[in-house]
Amino acid sequence: MSQVWVGTGRIGNGLGNTEDHIRILAADRSTLLAELAYDGSPAKDQSITLSPNGSGLYVEHKVFAGEHAFSPGLMHDRTPFNGIAVPPIFETAPIRQTVLSGSTLTCTVPAFDPEGETIQFRLDQLPDAATLEQDGDTGAAIFSFVTTNADQGKTFTGVLIAADAGGLENTLPIEIFVAPGWVSSFCLNEVLLDPGTQTDANGDGIVDAQDDEFLEIVNSGTAPLDLSGLDLWDSLRLRHTFPQGSVLAPGQAMLLF
């Protein structure tokens, strides 16, 4: 398997998008081992790579790999270097989702095996509400998570594991936060940010640039919306906490000045 190493941190957006000069020096800081200079319009949303691998000229990755934009640790065709076995590779980011209580999260998770072996998927550290349908031949798993009202406010974490026939495994983190189902009925419908000098929005007969600012909250659902204990913040501090008994009827609006 290819080694992944970062010496003093991460390259994180340290490579210029339009031009840069990459140099790799030996420990004596003077012997040049490799370099790559680029400018103008290098490949966007794909890597540039030597073709053939290890020699030749730098070209856009998709020229030789079709739809695949990069192949970290693998050759252009996503097979291992020197025939070294590597585990299945997930082709999606970790699953981090917020879902409403009483609803079901479903997502397709693609993966591939560089040796072309059949992939077996399984879940770990998640409750029975998490299920998996798998098709190792196509390299995809369908992950589902069913929530109930009792799950409100809870966070569930675990992993999806992909294993090949040789026993090599890779894991994909899963994190699911269950928000109260009524969140879908909570609508911040209107905001007056700058009343100006002519607007008396609160109807008190006085035009005031601060007192006439307002938020309008609407209950767009079919059941009463209990706002008790909810906090209103801006970028500086807490501005308002709804007192106990703050209930908004279906189809009704509430104003905060």
* pLDDT of amino acid 155: 95
The domain made up of 89-179 has a fold known as: Immunoglobulin-like (2.60.40)
Where do the CATH 2.60.40.10 domains begin and end in the chain?
89-179
Low-confidence ranges of the chain (pLDDT < 50): 1-6
* pLDDT of amino acid 8: 52
Could you read off the pLDDT of 199-228 as tens digits, one per residue?
A: 777 677 787 777 778 888 898 877 788 888
* pLDDT of amino acid 185: 81
Residue 98: both structure tokens together = 């917020």
This prediction has a pTM of 0.55
* pLDDT of amino acid 123: 94
* pLDDT of amino acid 1: 40
